Amino acid sequence: MNNANQNYFMAQRWAKTQLAGTDVDPQAPQFLLQMHHGWDATHLLLHNRDRMPADEQAWFHQAIARLLKHEPAQYIAGQAPFYGRNFIVTPAVLIPEAETAELVDWVLAALPSRPLKVLDLGTGSGVIGITLALERPQWQVTLSDVSAAALEIARQNVQRFDLDLPVVESDLFDGLAGQRFDAIVTNPPYIDPAATKIMDTAVLEYEPSLALFADEAGLGFYRRLFIQAGSHLTAAGQLFGETGFDQEESIQSLLHQCDRQAKIEKRHDVADKMRMIHVWDFSGAGGN
């Protein structure tokens, strides 16, 4: 592909031929160029006839080779869009998905805009907690995760958006002793380890398994969370979480095994798959 007269249009046409007949997203090359330059689709189009520098041609050639090995475009670019902002991502953290944005929508719509203490539990790159802090500056948001590598990315994203948020290394609530929150929001590991046969190669090979899989057919994390949540919520405290599409019945059953008093509301995503829960009235909330 290296050509002194190569322009952005020609580079994209070359990339299209490389990806033809594969299962790689055909929009990935455009995404890489947009992230690389901070362009939107319109600006990429405006630069189509501009010459691509030789060093960028070399980078683009390597990037397409990585795509062909199923490496996610977001990891190649080192960033991913979420809720209208671009966040730093690496293989230490999950790539934010549309379902998580729906969870954020639900939290913002359901909770009052007055000052609240909010925990983003298992924060990963920090997209949930940082987005909530930016959308509701009056909220006091804490980010926590068991992974030190993930928290390093979360800290970088906190700095990227000029925020000052507590970032805590914690296995569930171990590092948050004595703290209670008005809301806990989580996108935890919830995939059954036996489900790998139906998962994308890119997810299996590149995204962090610690953030994906939970024991007990994907419900192990939620069992621990449901048992302990009441001790870390205020009297009116609420929990919002992302779940697996096939856990609609099992997660409700699990909650009532762990806490007979708690109430649960479930919600489907835009594809009409069960993906989110809202839980409140935990035993022990507020210290009662």
Residues 126/119, Cβ–Cβ less than 8 Å: no
Q: Does residue 211 share a domain with residue 139?
A: yes
Q: Does residue 116 share a domain with residue 28?
A: no
In a domain? residue 75: no
Q: Does residue 281 share a domain with residue 148?
A: yes
Residues 238/226, Cβ–Cβ less than 8 Å: no
Q: Does residue 193 share a domain with residue 100?
A: yes
DSSP label at 174? Answer: G
- The pLDDT score that the predictor gives to residue 123 is 98
In a domain? residue 18: yes
Q: Does residue 29 share a domain with residue 169?
A: no
Among residues 69, 84, 108, the one where a domain terminates is 69
- The pLDDT score that the predictor gives to residue 4 is 67
Q: Does residue 277 share a domain with residue 176?
A: yes
User: Mean of the pLDDT values across residues 7-13?
Assistant: 96
- The pLDDT score that the predictor gives to residue 204 is 81
The pLDDT > 70 percentage for the chain reads 98
pLDDT band of residue 254 (cuts 50, 70, 90) is very high
User: How would you class 152 by CB atoms within 10 Å of its CB: exposed for 0-12, middle for 13-18, buried for 19 or more?
Assistant: middle
In a domain? residue 215: yes
Q: Does residue 272 share a domain with residue 207?
A: yes
Residues 125/157, Cβ–Cβ less than 8 Å: yes
User: Mean of the pLDDT values across residues 125-131?
Assistant: 98
Q: Does residue 127 share a domain with residue 64?
A: no
In a domain? residue 214: yes
In a domain? residue 266: yes
User: Mean of the pLDDT values across residues 219-229?
Assistant: 96
Q: Does residue 251 share a domain with residue 195?
A: yes
Split into its structural domains, the chain has a count of 2
Sequence-distant (6+) residues with CB within 8 A of 31 are 25, 73, 77
- The pLDDT score that the predictor gives to residue 287 is 61
In a domain? residue 80: no
Q: Does residue 103 share a domain with residue 154?
A: yes
What CATH number does the domain containing 179 carry?
A: 3.40.50.150
The pLDDT > 90 percentage for the chain reads 83
Which of 9-23, 184-198, 218-232 has the lowest average pLDDT? Answer: 184-198
3-38 burial code (b ≥16 CB/10 A, e <16):
eeebebebbbebbeebbeeeebeeebbbbbbbbbee
d(CA 198, CA 187): 20
In a domain? residue 283: yes
Beta bridge pairs of residue 213: 191
* Domain of residue 253, residue span: 92-287
Place of tokens 């621990």: 224
User: For the chain, what is the mean pLDDT?
Assistant: 94
Q: Does residue 40 share a domain with residue 101?
A: no
- The pLDDT score that the predictor gives to residue 199 is 75
- The pLDDT score that the predictor gives to residue 2 is 55
For the segment 189-211, what is each residue's pLDDT rounded down to a tens digit? 988 888 877 678 888 888 888 89
In a domain? residue 83: no
Q: Does residue 102 share a domain with residue 43?
A: no
Place of tokens 């190569």: 6
For the segment 65-104, what is each residue's pLDDT rounded down to a tens digit? 999 999 999 999 999 999 999 999 999 999 999 999 999 9
For the segment 111-127, what is each residue's pLDDT rounded down to a tens digit? 999 999 999 999 999 99
